[in-house]
Chains A and B, each alone.
Chain A
Amino acid sequence: MKTPKIKLKNVHKRFGDKVVLDGLDLEIMPGESLVIIGGSGTGKSVTIKCILGLLTPDIGEIEIDGQSVLDISPVERNTINARIGMLFQHAALFDSLSVWENVAFGLIEGQGMLASTARDIALEKMAAVGLAEDTAEMHPSDLSGGMRKRVGLARAIAINPEIIFFDEPTTGLDPIMGDIINQLIVETTQNIGATGLSITHDMSSARKIADRIAMLYKGKIIWHGAVEEIEKTKNEFLRQFINGNSEGPIDFETAII
């Protein structure tokens, strides 16, 4: 059996009294594209942050390439993160830098590439996400939300990472741009052979980019399977989620008075 690229075992994470992850198990194989779906606030972003080392799980084990990545030194963490690309949900662009400097950041600071070379690569990646060259010198605060998202995406793929995390890549984009981005995600993961973990609420996007889908509910993965299987699933939770019904077993913890 192959070692999974990413493996989470029995991960627990709570903030104060609020239990967010409650024994989460997840395996992602090399070259696979997994999509996590789940209601708002169920801990999808927290899961990714735990893998990246931005949050530390209370209990549990996280492995990348079979190596535990908890309790490692900051230097080791840097070498691991240098192989990972991350698109943040709210883009998290550096607002003191111009757009192209944002995209080239991992190349210049992380890999020590020359600024002129990195700029060419940055422009290429920006073109791939539909950003014209004249945005290169602009600052993130001058961009629209959807444009910022695409700059974030370009920054995530610029370093040709082995592992890519996309936190809601298509939220805030128009349907056509959304489809272009979906296509781009499929291409990048296939071309670089990268392992992808994406979060989305958008089922059409999930169907397009996923090899496999996992559903997070109440801190656990309650269902996972190949993308074709979701259509014929008997799982009530998943059926409710993909059909977007307000009636069903999912407890949204909202009291309608």
Chain B
Amino acid sequence: MSFLQLTGATVLGFFRAVGHITHFTIVAVSHCFRPPFYFQLIWRQIVEIGYYSLPVVGLTTVFAGMVLALQSYTGFARFAAGAESSIAKVVVLSITRELAPVLAGLMVAARVGSSIAAEIGTMRVTEQIDALTTLATEPFKYLVAPRVIAGIATLPVLILIGDVIGIFGGYIVAVYKLDFNAAIYLKNTWEFVQFTDVFSGLVKATVFGFVTTLMGCYQGYFSKGGAQGVGTATINAVVSSAILILILNYMITAMFFGA
């Protein structure tokens, strides 16, 4: 194949994939709004995605907060004296705006995106999705919609919890390792943080929850070729949602805080 042909084929392939995903997204979203709703399945997914992701999110954010406090303390000491008041602000700002949503979002993408892709992919290659259709049940409604709804609903809550845990991690390091005054640290945190900081993080969380569950469902739904195909679908789900999370993170940040 010549270079031009290769470029052409790649570009065409890219647009075909974008069209495919867009169509899938529209169908999936439309099924989230039309009855019947499978409340039991939605609830099960909320537990699966939300509750069982708590340890991962907690661990990620607590260490992010701790390392942030430590790094900014040693970093600031190089050029500014009296860094003490800045540490709390740096921690709360970074955690709520960036680190909690992005780090925790990526962890959830790895955990939830892969499990959704593997489960739906296995159902595809073992003809269970065909069986759903023949039993007069719409696979989008039964499999995709509950996961997407649960993703959108639980991620903001997870990230809000992550915010608190992350700030707590910074507090631990500041107070117990760096010997800051606890009351002043908390006062600095509380007085400095603004509604938009937290809110922008939660908007990110909602979008990431949507993207992760959607990509998991998409890759699983169109997987083919047995166990190997399911493996590929799982990888693709994690990689594509991670990349989308990073791109969308920039776009949402620019939207909220871009000059």
Contacts and interface: CB of A to CB of B under 8 A. Distances in A.
Interface of A: 49, 52-54, 74, 77-79, 81-82, 84-86, 88, 90, 92-96, 105-106, 109-110, 155, 159
B58 to A, nearest CB: 28
B136 A106 contact: yes
Interface residues on B, range: 10 to 19
Contact of B133 (A54, A93, A96): A54
A54 B136 contact: no
Contact of B135 (A74, A81, A96): A81
Interface stretch (B68-76, B97-105, B123-131, B152-160): B123-131
Interface string B100-127: 0000000000000000000100010011
Contacts of A82: 136
Q: Is the interface of B mostly helix, strand, loop or mixed?
A: helix
A110 B135 contact: yes
B137 interface: yes
B126 to A, nearest CB: 6
Contacts of B119: 96
Contact of A106 (B126, B127, B135): B135
6 contacts: A49-B130, A81-B134, A81-B135, A84-B134, A88-B130, A95-B128
Contact of A54 (B123, B128, B134, B137): B134
Contacts of B128: 92-95
Given A90-B127, A92-B127, A52 B134 contact: yes
Residue from B128, B132, B134 whose CB has the most chain A CB atoms within 10 Å: B134
A106 B136 CA distance: 7
Interface in B130-165: 130-138, 142
Contacts of A52: 130, 133-134
B57 to A, nearest CB: 25
Nearest to A84: B134
B136 A78 contact: yes
A224 B259 CA distance: 76
A86 B135 CA distance: 8
B131 A110 contact: no
A8 to B, nearest CB: 18
A81 B132 CA distance: 10
A88 B136 contact: no
B126 A81 contact: no
A219 to B, nearest CB: 22
A187 to B, nearest CB: 22
A110 B134 CA distance: 10
Interface in B48-101: none
B145 to A, nearest CB: 14
